[in-house]
Amino acid sequence: MPDETEQGPAEAPGAEVAPVVGPPARPLPSGTQVILVVLGITAFLYFARPVMLPLFLACLVTMALKPVMNGLSYMRIPTVPSAAIVVVLLVATVSVGFVELGRPAIHWIDDAPDHITQLRGRVQKLLPTASSMGRAMDSVSDLGATEAEKKADRKKAPVVEIKDERGTSSILNWTGTVLAGLGEVLVLTYLLLASGDLFLHKFVHVMPTLRDKKRAVEISHEVQSNISNYLSSVLLINLGLGAVAAAGFFALGVPKAAMWGMLVALLNFVPYFGPVVVVVLLAAVGLLSFDALWQWLLPACWYLALHLLESNIVTPILLGRRFTLNPVAIFVSLIFWLWLWGIPGALISVPILVSIKAVCDRFPSASFVSELIGR
């Protein structure tokens, strides 16, 4: 008899032999998966900038204009004509703003060489010690030179040779790219406004259960309402800040006060860097406009006081705690989107961060992200 301990049971004829399967592959750690997904999305957004940037801008503009669309819907105006009216009003408002800001800005830029010369004279007048040090450095550099060499250096006139081979073409290409991008944003904005809740209906339609459909509608409406309220509130705050700043500049006697007020409203959309640029520009304008030391500081001090009041009192009261973000998260988002998409990315960095927080607030699994970027 065969020994059963040395020989297994006989296989039945026709029975299939199970293939030998090795140990299952271990899945990647969740942290590694998150890093790979983030890097993949970042690379996609970087290389797909010509497509994704107009789409992001159009979505944000659409959400900001939703209250206007809701007001027109209460007036029984159909969605498609309402979208056309809103886009036409948007184009007219932006055009008037650019014309009113552009004309004095072009004149001010044309006079930039004269402004630089005046600034240099004012600085030397206010800081005579720095001017004396500059002359002393020039004297030190001339030590050891003969009188003939000094006279030859004085006779030498600097030769400035301007070659404009690529400047004009690059400016034209940049202008064409900007205009094409603005056209894409306007067309996408009109289509998104005219479509209404079409994409939401399609998204709800593919949900498997009634409970999932209701949850999708609730999340979509809440997120859209939060982002719309945030964008419209920030827009009104910045416009009010620009108007009050312009009134103060006019009272102080600053030339082109309306232009500087509009610049204040525009740059206030860019956190941190925008206010710094405004303070520097206003300090230069005050130095050009006034003679006394305390007077040329007034425009910058006036704006700085308004900015502190707006950022610490007005904005927290109007937006509330749900839109309050961590300053570190705001700065990191600003640097990231500025690197990724340039100045347009800096303008939309905070709205994108608010959108991410609004979405993560509705999902318990992503609540840690909302807690991380919130204050």
Give the integer Cα–Cα distance in Å for 204 and 248. Answer: 51
Mean pLDDT score, 89-114: 73
Q: What is the pLDDT of residues 346-375, one digit of tens each?
A: 888 888 888 888 778 777 777 788 888 877
Give the integer Cα–Cα distance in Å for 42 and 40. Answer: 5
Spatial contact of 119 and 281, defined as CB atoms under 8 Å apart = no
- Residue 187 CA from chain centroid, whole number: 21
pLDDT band at 31 (very low <50, low <70, confident <90, very high): low
Q: Is the pLDDT of residue 304 over 80?
A: yes
Confidence (pLDDT) at 224:
79
Amino acid at position 288, single letter: L
Q: Is the pLDDT of residue 132 over 60?
A: no
Q: What is the pLDDT of residues 156-206, one digit of tens each?
A: 544 444 454 554 555 556 566 777 778 888 899 888 888 877 777 777 777
Confidence (pLDDT) at 35:
83
pLDDT band at 130 (very low <50, low <70, confident <90, very high): very low
Which of the pair, 256 or 237, is modelled with greater confidence?
237
Provide Rg for the chain, Cα atoms: 31
pLDDT band at 140 (very low <50, low <70, confident <90, very high): very low
The pTM (predicted TM-score) of the whole model is: 0.70
pLDDT band at 303 (very low <50, low <70, confident <90, very high): very high
Confidence (pLDDT) at 154:
52
| Phi/psi-derived region of residue 325, left when phi > 0, alpha when psi is between -120 and 50, beta in every other case | beta
Mean pLDDT score, 113-128: 60
